[in-house]
Every structure is written in structure tokens, then in C-alpha cells.
């Protein structure tokens, strides 16, 4: 392990448990120390008021030929959904930029873990309600969070839970919950999937977007799930799956992958993390234990920033907020994230977004540079302009929270140091900034 100083360790905390330091934040936090900063980051944020997106869009009706009035109504509903989704995405990005605790970063993690997409859900307000569920419960009990997700309206639509009835069980939610959300591949059987689907029957989504249990569609019989026979329902399904000894290590490993390294933690580390979250599956205790592992601050532990993490971190550093951007810049922000392959509320599948090297491709790199140039052009860079040109590479590193540049990066930055906007854009696309290490 390579030792790091206190400032670098706290910078790592802000990078991994938030989205990077805001201007002056490192200077404020370093005197408080690593442990105090960690505890402050893990303090729950105050409740938020979700934006009012307006009414749920009307359904487009059955597929097939439509008359002109039906086509017009379908287009109007589609346009309304697009406007609502754009508002929701901008609002959430703004929350990520401004939230001083780890709350939004963990909310973002859960969005990728319990991946749900507006492409199928169609109702942006339901997507925002799911995001708020992650925000409110994402640092509490994983058991409570997982149970709530099973009857979340957006999830019921996304994984066909609302079509799961005693007469025609649908296995999607049961399967993905075990495979991706709670256990991992190889820790359940096809019989478990079928019995789990029976346990989850009867839930529907009302016209106003609330989850409801239709008892007439529920299978009240006994089911044998993971070796446990009972009249399982949603609650006992969640409890039985999460009681499996493979569940806690699986979830701890997923958090480790996003907060520390793509490399799985050694067995003894995983044992410590599992013990830390305890039988109550305390997420806050688990995250704290991860941050206190030596590997967390080891400079050899590198994580490639996902495009949203990168973009939000850059906006934080530059003092920019989506809520105050003009329409053209806001459109450019969303377009840039889309060009890199990641926009909130639009994960590509139930498996979420990829991690690691998948983001370091040429196409994403070009989109990253264009977005970095756009954001830098909107920032107030008086501090850089007032710095002597030879000192600007160090100054931009301080601005972005990069402790040090490699010789190669420093040389590249020196060639554009005469133009503060291009300097910021180049620094934001450097390996030292794109990879949190």
C-alpha cells in the first residue's frame, strides 16, 4: 500500500462519497481530519421537496392504426413525458452538485444497483419517487430498502411485477431481485425463481401511480423458497432472500466495486465489511467500514468515474448549477452525458451501467472533451487568469481537487496554460481527473 497525506485522503473521501470537492471545501475540511469528515459525509441530508412535474401523462392507447386525433394525443403525451423527464433529470443533477453529504452519491449508486429506466416506465414522476426512496432509505437498512423496492411503482412497471398474478406468474422481478439486487448468480435455482414469483403476485399500480395489493390476484399458498417453506409474500420473500449467507457479501462487494476498486475485496476484508453492517444490514455502517479500510485511500485503488460522476464533479468544482443554466447550455449538458453513454433515469438495462474501463473509449472521450469545453466556457475563471502562466497547471489541479499531475499530464497542460478555458477542459479530461485514484 502506498501511503497518502491527510489532504489527499480527504480528497479521496470527497471523490468517492460525494462527487468531488466544491471550491474551498478541501481547505475547510482538512483541519477537521479524515474521520470527522467521513462522519459528516455520512450524516443524512434533510428531506427534499420533489419538483411538481404535473399530471401523469396519458397512455398512448393500444398499438396499431390510429386516427388523426389519437395520433395527436399520443404525440402530446410523448412530448409531455419528454419535458417532464428533462425537468426531473436537471433537478436531480442540481441536487448532486449542491448536496454536501454522501446522500446523493449513494442515491446515485442505488439507481444503478436497482436499475430502472424511464424508457419503459414512461412516468417521470414515478421515477423521481423511486429516486427519493433511495435518498430517504439508502443509508439505512438494506433489508427495509430492498423490501420497499419490491413494491415501488416504477419497479413494478419496469420488471412486470404488476402483471404477476396467481393465474399467470411473471418471473422477471423474482429473478432479477435474486440475480442482480440481493444474491448474485449461482446462489439460487430456477425453482426458487418460480416460487419467488408466486410470493410476489397480486401487486398492481393504480391510475394515480400508487402500488396496491389486489388480494384476488395473490397466490396465498405455500411456497418453498431457498429451502424455506411458508405462505411467502413480499415481506417474507425479501426476508428469506436476504437471510441467505451470500446476500450480505454480495451487496458489500457491489458497493466496494463503486467506491474502492473493480478488484473484489480479499476474503478477510469482505468478512469485516459483512460484520460491520450486521444483521440489520446497516448501509451507513457498511460504507463507513469501507472508507476505513486501508485500500480505500491507497493510491493503487483506482475507480474510473462514470460520466455523471465526472460531469457533476466538474460542475461542483467550477461553481456551476444546472438550475441556473440557460436552455442551450442545459441541452448541451444532457447531450454531452448522452454522448458519453450515461443519462440519469436511463440505465441501458436492469443490470445498470458498466463500470471501469468501459468508459475509456474514443467516442466517450470526444464527448467528454466537448462537454468539458462547454462547462469551462460558462465558468468564472478569474482565479486562473490571475495566476502566472507557469503556475496554472498546479492552480487548475487545486481547482479540480487533483493532488498531483504526472509529468506527461503536466507537459500537456503547460501547452494550453495560456488559455484558462482550454486548460480547465484539458485538465478535466486528464487521467488524473477521469480516474479517481
Domain-embedded: residue 175 = no
Let me know whether 309 and 430 are in one domain: yes
Let me know whether 310 and 402 are in one domain: yes
Let me know whether 278 and 367 are in one domain: no
* Mean pLDDT, rounded, for 325-339: 96
Q: What is the pLDDT of residue 344?
A: 98
Let me know whether 323 and 404 are in one domain: yes
Domain-embedded: residue 189 = no
pLDDT at 58 over 80: no
Q: What is the pLDDT of residue 358?
A: 86
Q: What is the pLDDT of residue 3?
A: 53
Eight-state DSSP code of residue 177: I
Q: What is the pLDDT of residue 363?
A: 85
Let me know whether 388 and 268 are in one domain: no
Domain-embedded: residue 18 = yes
Let me know whether 289 and 337 are in one domain: no
Let me know whether 291 and 350 are in one domain: no
Let me know whether 345 and 420 are in one domain: yes
Its sign, for the CA torsion 174, 176, 177, 178, is: positive
Domain-embedded: residue 102 = no
Domain limits for position 373: 304-436
Domains identified in the chain, total number: 2
Of 403 and 116, more confident:
116
Let me know whether 426 and 325 are in one domain: yes
Crossing angle (nearest 10°) for helices 234-243 and 247-259 = 80
Let me know whether 311 and 410 are in one domain: yes
Domain-embedded: residue 192 = no
pLDDT at 72 over 90: no
Q: What is the pLDDT of residue 60?
A: 58
> Could you tell me the pLDDT band of residue 38, with boundaries at 50, 70 and 90?
very high
Let me know whether 422 and 310 are in one domain: yes
Q: What is the pLDDT of residue 64?
A: 62
Domain-embedded: residue 297 = yes
Domain-embedded: residue 117 = no
- Give pLDDT tens digits for 264-277: 999 999 999 999 99
Q: How many Cα atoms sit within 13 Å of 143 on the Cβ side?
A: 16
pLDDT at 393 over 60: yes
Of 37 and 60, more confident:
37
Domain-embedded: residue 188 = no
- Give pLDDT tens digits for 403-423: 899 999 999 999 999 999 999
Cα separation values, 317 from 20, 22, 29, 325, Å = 7, 5, 15, 16
Instruction: Return left, alpha or beta for 368; rule: phi > 0 is left, psi -120 to 50 is alpha, else beta.
Output: alpha
Let me know whether 423 and 380 are in one domain: yes
Eight-state DSSP code of residue 403: -
Q: What is the pLDDT of residue 61?
A: 53
Q: What is the pLDDT of residue 167?
A: 96
Amino acid at each position: 500500500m502506498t501511503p497518502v497525506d491527510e489532504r489527499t485522503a480527504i480528497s479521496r473521501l470527497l471523490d468517492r462519497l460525494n462527487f468531488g470537492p466544491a471550491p474551498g471545501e478541501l481547505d475547510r475540511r482538512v483541519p477537521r481530519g479524515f474521520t470527522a469528515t467521513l462522519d459528516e459525509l455520512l450524516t443524512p441530508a434533510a428531506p427534499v421537496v420533489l419538483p411538481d412535474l404535473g399530471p401523469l401523462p396519458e397512455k398512448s392507447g393500444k398499438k396499431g392504426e390510429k386516427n388523426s386525433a389519437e395520433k395527436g394525443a399520443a404525440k402530446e403525451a410523448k412530448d409531455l413525458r419528454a419535458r417532464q423527464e428533462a425537468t426531473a433529470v436537471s433537478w436531480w443533477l442540481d441536487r448532486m452538485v449542491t448536496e454536501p453529504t454522501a446522500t446523493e452519491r449513494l442515491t446515485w449508486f442505488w439507481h444503478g444497483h436497482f436499475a430502472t429506466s424511464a424508457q419503459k416506465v414512461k412516468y417521470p414522476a414515478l421515477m423521481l419517487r423511486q429516486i427519493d426512496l433511495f435518498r430517504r432509505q439508502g443509508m439505512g437498512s438494506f433489508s427495509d430498502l430492498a423490501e420497499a423496492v419490491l413494491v415501488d411503482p416504477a419497479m413494478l412497471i419496469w420488471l412486470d411485477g404488476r402483471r404477476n398474478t396467481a393465474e399467470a406468474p411473471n418471473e422477471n422481478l423474482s429473478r432479477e431481485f435474486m440475480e442482480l439486487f440481493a444474491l448474485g448468480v449461482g446462489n439460487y435455482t430456477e425453482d426458487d425463481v418460480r416460487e419467488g414469483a408466486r410470493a410476489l403476485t397480486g401487486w398492481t399500480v393504480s391510475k394515480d401511480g400508487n402500488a396496491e395489493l389486489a388480494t384476488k390476484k395473490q397466490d396465498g399458498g405455500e411456497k418453498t423458497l431457498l429451502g424455506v417453506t411458508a405462505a411467502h409474500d413480499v415481506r417474507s420473500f425479501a426476508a428469506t432472500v436476504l437471510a441467505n449467507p451470500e446476500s450480505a457479501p454480495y451487496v458489500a462487494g457491489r458497493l466496494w466495486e463503486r467506491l474502492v476498486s473493480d478488484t473484489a475485496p480479499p476474503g478477510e476484508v469482505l468478512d469485516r465489511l459483512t460484520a460491520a453492517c450486521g444483521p440489520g444490514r446497516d448501509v451507513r455502517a457498511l460504507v463507513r467500514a469501507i472508507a476505513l479500510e486501508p485500500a480505500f485511500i491507497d493510491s493503487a485503488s483506482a475507480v474510473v468515474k462514470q460520466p455523471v460522476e465526472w460531469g457533476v464533479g466538474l460542475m461542483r468544482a467550477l461553481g456551476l448549477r444546472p438550475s441556473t443554466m440557460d436552455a442551450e447550455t442545459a441541452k448541451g449538458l444532457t447531450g454531452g452525458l448522452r454522448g458519453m453513454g450515461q443519462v440519469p433515469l436511463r440505465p441501458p438495462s436492469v443490470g445498470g451501467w458498466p463500470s471501469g474501463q468501459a468508459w475509456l473509449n474514443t467516442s466517450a472521450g470526444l464527448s467528454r472533451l466537448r462537454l468539458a469545453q462547454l462547462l469551462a466556457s460558462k465558468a468564472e475563471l478569474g482565479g486562473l487568469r490571475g495566476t502566472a502562466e507557469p503556475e496554472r497547471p498546479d492552480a487548475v489541479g487545486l481547482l479540480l481537487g487533483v493532488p498531483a499531475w504526472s509529468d506527461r499530464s503536466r507537459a500537456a497542460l503547460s501547452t494550453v496554460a495560456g488559455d484558462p478555458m482550454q486548460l480547465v477542459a484539458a485538465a478535466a479530461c486528464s487521467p488524473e481527473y477521469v480516474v479517481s485514484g
